[in-house]
Structure 1
Amino acid sequence: MPTTVWLVSHAANAALRSGTFPRAPVAGDDAEEALEARALAALAAWRERWHARLTGDECDGEALRAFTSPAAIARASAYAAGFAGATQSDALADTAFGEWQGKRLAQLAREAPEALAAWTRDPAFRPPGDGESFDDVRARVGAWLDALPDTGHDVIAFTHASVMRAAILHALAAPSSSFRSIEIAPLSVTALRRTQHGWVWLAAID
């Protein structure tokens, strides 16, 4: 059976709801503290809907390999979703936002409107202070996907919207400028399958 990669966007947190650029992960971040009550409820519902499906016979049971972004919210989401042993991978990390981390979109709209507008339009734009462009994210995510061993065992990865957009466009060999046309909701699922012609994007049926 060909390998299928199930990408899951992490649960919503305060930063996401307030439009705040996330900070880079710090060693020792407490993953459990990253989840609020509403996130825990959403993850409980996700687990009831998806866990048995992804770990059942269709996915070869325990052969399913689990990965997570280093971010506390992604690690906590993986744990609450039933994947406590997920392996952290830097390739699945959120975009590095440089000097923008910890700032709100509304603040940047006042302080640096031209730069913020460029970030929303140009996949090559890098936030100041060693930030990553969407093209940078796409390069590392594509490399991670292509390096996965073709064992036939499925993979699940808890990650971020930017990573999922990058993975979809990599699979479709679509231009990076299309990133603006892909919306990823918290706890949404995207599936990619490896074929002899490369990756294909599958519609994940709820």
Structure 2
Amino acid sequence: MPTTVWLVSHAANAALRSGTFPRAPVAGDDAEEALDTRALEALAAWCERWHARLERGERNGEALRVLTSPAAIARASARAAGFTAATPGDALADTAFGAWQGKRIADLAHEAPEALVAWTRDPAFRPPGGESFDDVRARVSAWLDAIPDSEPDVVAFTHASVMRAAILHALGAPSSGFRSIEIAPLSVTALRRTQHGWAWLAAVD
């Protein structure tokens, strides 16, 4: 059976709910501190729905490869979801937001409205010192295409931008389509390798 990659968006924390751009991961971050009560409750419900299915995989019990973004919230989400042996990978990192790190979207709407609009519409736009969606798509696409045919199924806790990039890569669709893909916290997206590349699968219970 061909390799399936299950991408899971991390739980929502207070920063995400307030519309604040995340800061870059720092070595030694306490992953567990990234989760608040609401996030833990959401993860408990997610586990009831998804953990057994993903842990079992689709290859007759073959061990999964479990990965996370380097971000504390992604690592904490993986652990709380029962995947305690996950390995961080730079390809799964969130967009680098440069000078926008730690800023609220509402504040940027007043400080730099034209730049904020460009960020929501133009996949080539980079925040000062940061990455564009095209940059994220390039590294995510390279990571997917480097996964060998013999690779075990993969579960990866990551970010909405990474999941949008993976979906568009599988579809061979233009990056401008990122505006039309909504990824909720703890969403699950599946991609399967085929002889023609990657196929996007509808993830169902």
Deviation at 1:60, TM superposition (A): 3.7
Query: 2:170, 2:200 within 8 Å by CA — same for their partners in 1?
Result: yes
Q: Work out the CA distance in 2 between the residues paired with 1:39 and 1:62.
A: 30
Query: 2:118, 2:125 within 8 Å by CA — same for their partners in 1?
Result: yes
SS in 2 for 1:61: coil
2:118 is matched with 118
Query: 1:4, 1:192 within 8 Å by CA — same for their partners in 2?
Result: yes
1:133 is matched with 132
Deviation at 1:61, TM superposition (A): 2.6
Q: Work out the CA distance in 2 between the residues paired with 1:84 and 1:74.
A: 12
Which portions of structure 1, spanning 4 or more consecutive aligned residues, are displaced by more than 4 angstroms?
A: none
Q: How many corresponding residue pairs?
A: 205
Query: 2:21, 2:100 within 8 Å by CA — same for their partners in 1?
Result: yes
With the length of structure 2 as denominator, give the TM-score of the two structures: 0.98
1:191 is matched with 190
Alignment of 1:52-91 (within 5 A): 52-56=52-56, 58-91=58-91
| Percent identical | 84
Q: Deviations over 1:131-176 (max 9, x none)?
A: 0000000000000111112215210000000000000000001000
Q: Structure 2 unaligned runs (5+)?
A: none
Query: 2:62, 2:152 within 8 Å by CA — same for their partners in 1?
Result: no
SS in 1 for 2:30: coil
Does residue 177 of the first structure (1) align with residue 191 of the second (2)? no
Deviation at 1:14, TM superposition (A): 0.8
Going from structure 1 to structure 2, the CA distance change for 1:31 and 1:57 (only over 3 Å counts) comes to: closer
1:38 is matched with 38
Query: 1:55, 1:62 within 8 Å by CA — same for their partners in 2?
Result: no
SS in 2 for 1:6: strand
Query: 1:91, 1:144 within 8 Å by CA — same for their partners in 2?
Result: yes
2:28 is matched with 28
Q: Work out the CA distance in 2 between the residues paired with 1:58 and 1:36.
A: 32
Going from structure 1 to structure 2, the CA distance change for 1:59 and 1:11 (only over 3 Å counts) comes to: farther
